[in-house]
């Protein structure tokens, strides 16, 4: 559908010849590729024209989430709505641009009303149907999940893990770097984002994410090595966001969690069948989620997500600050975050990252779940939902123990290829 005003139909004059050629070639691109290009254009020409916002909405309609597309339409229409900005000042400036030019487009208004009605009805029907379904485990609010107070102190095993981490003879910086590289790989493999060969994992741990060799297994869902490398860089970058939270856990807020999610999903937002809005909660996408598998698990209704996230941050800060057993705190934070499932995708990766704060604060390494632990790990999460944290606490300890062992052995083994030290992979401890 074309619009009445040329401002929404024609590529802005400020666009460079190179970018204009790329935009003219969008007919040969998939909707996901178009979304990626248009988001790049928004970053480059953020204050120039609402054209990009409307074109982005046109493509998001095809790959979801629909309510985000409707919100984009509304940002440039004459119909007056108040919504949270999608890309900060870019949207606000686009909205002001049309208002300042006194532009009205009835076709755009019609499209807003049409798609709002379609997606609003669809999301509400899906939510209503989910509330009538039968689950192995139903969702319960965070306030009903008891903190594991039966684990007030660290076990001798946990003390041994900490000592093994702190008293390494390979150098603390080298150990942390190797450990974090392995963790960065495994946190995506556990979620089946991709699957690398054992030889590739070792090469990446030894030589760094930028220089290491990437080889995927035959059963990997992703084989684009450059996309995988970008995903690994995004994950490493997200862990750097933890640094201020380690010393100041009171700064943990839903906004910070959304920033972490946006960093983790910077590349991954384009890799699924549906687009995942980075840093946008399900309260905004209005997506209903049910975890399927051996067990059917109900997640927090999208209508409650933002309120739950506020409460999770408030209680997490309290337990991180006061509880003496950081592994028990990590288990609880991980559980309640996973139970809420605040985002369309990427929740497990963000949960393990945020739940690492109490561990790092007490001198432990961050949570690392090895790929071969996947089945036991998810079973432990199921048990924790039922109130038994023992298995999840053991899973966290086992992951740390194996991660430290792997990192030390990787450092001691002669590298298979030369590399430069990846200074961007170092993190404050």
Residues making up the binding site for ATP: 345-352, 377-378
CA distances from 92 to 47, 274, 402 (A): 9, 26, 48
Alpha carbons 190 and 401: distance in angstroms, whole number: 17
Closest by alpha carbon to 5, among 50, 41, 46? 50
Burial class (CB in 10 A: 0-12, 13-18, 19+), 417: exposed
Neighbours of 45 (CB within 10 A): 17
Residue list for the binding site? 345-352, 377-378
Closest by alpha carbon to 187, among 331, 327, 349, 357? 349
Alpha carbons 36 and 14: distance in angstroms, whole number: 20
């Amino acid at each position: 559908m074309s619009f009445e005003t040329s401002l929404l139909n024609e590529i802005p004059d400020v666009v460079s010849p190179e970018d204009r050629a790329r935009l003219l070639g969008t007919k040969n691109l998939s909707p996901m590729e178009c979304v990626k290009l248009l988001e790049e254009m928004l970053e480059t020409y953020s204050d120039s024209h609402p054209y990009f916002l409307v074109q982005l909405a046109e493509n998001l309609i095809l790959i979801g989430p629909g309510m985000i597309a409707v919100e984009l339409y509304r940002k440039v229409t004459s119909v007056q709505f108040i919504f949270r900005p999608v890309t900060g000042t870019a949207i606000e400036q686009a909205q002001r641009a049309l208002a300042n030019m006194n532009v009205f487009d009835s076709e755009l208004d019609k499209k807003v009303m049409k798609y709002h009605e379609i997606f609003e009805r669809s999301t509400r029907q899906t939510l209503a149907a989910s509330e009538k379904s039968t689950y192995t485990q139903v969702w319960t609010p965070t306030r009903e999940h008891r903190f594991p107070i039966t684990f007030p102190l660290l076990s001798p095993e946990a003390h041994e893990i900490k000592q093994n981490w702190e008293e390494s003879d390979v150098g603390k910086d080298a150990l942390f770097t190797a450990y974090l590289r392995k963790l960065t790989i495994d946190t995506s493999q556990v979620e089946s984002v991709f699957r690398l060969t054992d030889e590739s994992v070792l090469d990446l741990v030894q030589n760094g994410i930028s220089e290491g060799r990437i080889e995927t297994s035959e059963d990997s869902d992703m084989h684009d090595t450059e996309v995988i490398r970008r995903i690994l860089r995004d994950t490493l970058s997200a862990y750097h966001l933890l640094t201020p939270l380690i010393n100041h856990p009171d700064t943990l807020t839903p906004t910070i969690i959304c920033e972490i999610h946006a960093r983790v999903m910077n590349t991954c937002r384009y890799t699924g069948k549906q687009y995942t809005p980075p840093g946008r909660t399900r309260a905004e996408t209005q997506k209903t989620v049910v975890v399927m598998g051996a067990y059917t698990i109900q997640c927090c209704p999208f209508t409650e997500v933002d309120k739950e996230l506020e409460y999770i941050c408030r209680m997490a800060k309290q337990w991180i600050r006061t509880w003496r057993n950081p592994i028990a705190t990590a288990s609880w934070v991980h559980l309640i975050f996973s139970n809420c499932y605040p985002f369309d995708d990427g929740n497990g990766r963000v949960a393990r990252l945020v739940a690492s704060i109490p561990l790092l604060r007490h001198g432990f390494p961050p949570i690392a779940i090895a790929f071969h632990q996947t089945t036991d790990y998810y079973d432990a999460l199921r048990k924790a939902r039922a109130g038994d944290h023992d298995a999840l606490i053991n899973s966290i300890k086992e992951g740390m123990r194996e991660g430290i062992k792997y990192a030390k052995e990787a450092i001691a083994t002669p590298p298979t290829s030369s590399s430069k030290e990846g200074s961007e992979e170092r993190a404050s401890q």
